[in-house]
Amino acid sequence: MKHHNVTNQHPSERRPYVIPHLLFTVYIRKVVKKSYYKCWTDWFDRDDPSGTGDWEILYNLHKENPGKICPKPMDIEARTLSGLTVAAAGDVNTQLDPTVGFICKNQDQPKKMCNDYRVRFSCHPPFCGGGVCWTKWYDRDNPSGTGDWETLRDLKDMNPGQICDYPLYIEAVTTDTLTPAISTGENFYA
């Protein structure tokens, strides 16, 4: 998944993010209030769907990646290797549980084959992947008129203390299927 890097721009040179029909999030280094400080681990992909399905089981991931996933994750996210959500990829009857992991059985799929997935878990530090954390998702504006305006200034005004002054990255996805903006074919501006 590609992210737009804004660290090499002076704040006065940054333009508003205009993202038609998309949800906006900011990838940040630190969060101002400790109560909002939780993060996502790195992505893990230990299995592929060549056997009975794609089994990204927490127990096995803990065993194969000691110290990289917290003992009791609060949440889990699964995406295909190309970045699609389970819904966008079209797989059905999957299990996504932070205490178990992610399970997609080939026999349950319309085409009898799951996509290949990777997972990450929401934890408290020090299990943050890459030394940075994600904020929660923000959706301030709806697409109308000239587009969907999810500007950093407006988001910070509406969510005081939750977004740092100089975010490192942003990620934008659709609100319905969480499809990455880069995969929609739409134009967006930074």
DSSP 174: -
Spatial contact of 27 and 6, defined as CB atoms under 8 Å apart: no
Stretch 2-20: mean pLDDT, rounded? 38
Distance, CA of 14 to CA of 152 (rounded, Å): 10
What are the backbone dihedrals phi and psi of residue 149, each rounded to the nearest 5 degrees, phi first? -100, 100
Q: Which of 1, 2, 17 shows the shortest CA–CA distance to 151?
A: 17
Which pTM was predicted?
0.57
Q: What is the pLDDT of residues 99-142, one digit of tens each?
A: 999 999 999 999 999 999 999 998 876 667 666 667 778 888 88
The ranges assigned to domains in the chain are 4-31+135-183, 39-129
Say yes or no to pLDDT of 59 above 80: yes
Distance, CA of 69 to CA of 59 (rounded, Å): 10
Spatial contact of 142 and 148, defined as CB atoms under 8 Å apart: yes
Beta-strand relationship, 133-134 and 95-97: unpaired
Distance, CA of 58 to CA of 102 (rounded, Å): 8
Stretch 71-100: mean pLDDT, rounded? 94
